[in-house]
Structure 1
Amino acid sequence: MLFHFSEDNSIETFVPKEKQNRLDFPAVVWAIDEEHEFTYYFPRDCPRIVCRRDEATTDEHLQLFFNNTIANTIVTVESDWYTRISKQTIFRYCFNDEGFELFDKTAGYFISRQIVKPKSIEKYDNLIESLIRKGIELRFTTNLNPLREAILASDFKGFGIHRFNNAKKP
Structure 2
Amino acid sequence: MRPAPGELLHFSEDPGITRFVPHVAATARQPEAYVWTVDHDQAPAYWFPRQCPRAMAWTDHDTPPADADWLGPHRVHAVEYGWLEAMRTVRLYAYRFAAEHFRPFGDSAHVATTPVTPLGPPEPVGDLFALHEHAGIELRVLPTLWPFWHQVTARELRFSGIRLRNAKP
Give the TM-score normalised by structure 2: 0.90
Q: Please, which moves more after superposition, 119-128 or 135-144?
A: 119-128
Q: Which runs of 4+ in 1 moved over 6 A?
A: none
Deviation at 1:23, TM superposition (A): 5.3
**RMSD of equivalent CA atoms:** 1.4
Please say if 1:82 is aligned against 2:88: no
Q: 2:98 aligns with which of 96, 99, 106?
A: 96
Q: 2:12 aligns with which of 6, 14, 23?
A: 6
Q: Offset of 1:63 from its aligned partner?
A: 3.7
CA distance in 2, matches of 1:25, 1:150: 32
Offset at 1:156? 2.5
- Matching residue's letter, 2:160: G
Does structure 1 retain, via aligned residues, the 8 Å contact 2:56–2:75?
yes
Match of 1:34 among 24, 35, 40: 40
| 2:126 alignment counterpart | 125
* TM, length-normalised to structure 1: 0.90
Q: CA deviation at 1:155?
A: 4.8
Q: How many residues align?
A: 162
Tell me the residue number matched to 1:140. 141
Q: Which amino acid aligns with 1:135?
A: G
Q: Secondary structure at the match of 2:77?
A: strand
Match in the other structure for 2:110: 110
Distance 2:54 2:123 in 1: 23
Aligned-residue sequence identity (percent) comes to 29
Which structure 2 residue ranges, 5 or more long, are not aligned?
A: 1-6
For the residue of structure 2 that corresponds to 1:98, the secondary structure is: helix
Matching of residue 16 in structure 1 with residue 22 in structure 2: yes
Contact 1:89/1:126 (8 A) holds in 2:
no
Aligned to 2:74: 72
Question: In structure 2, what is the equivalent of residue 48 of structure 1?
Answer: 54
CA contact (8 A) 2:57 2:152 kept: no
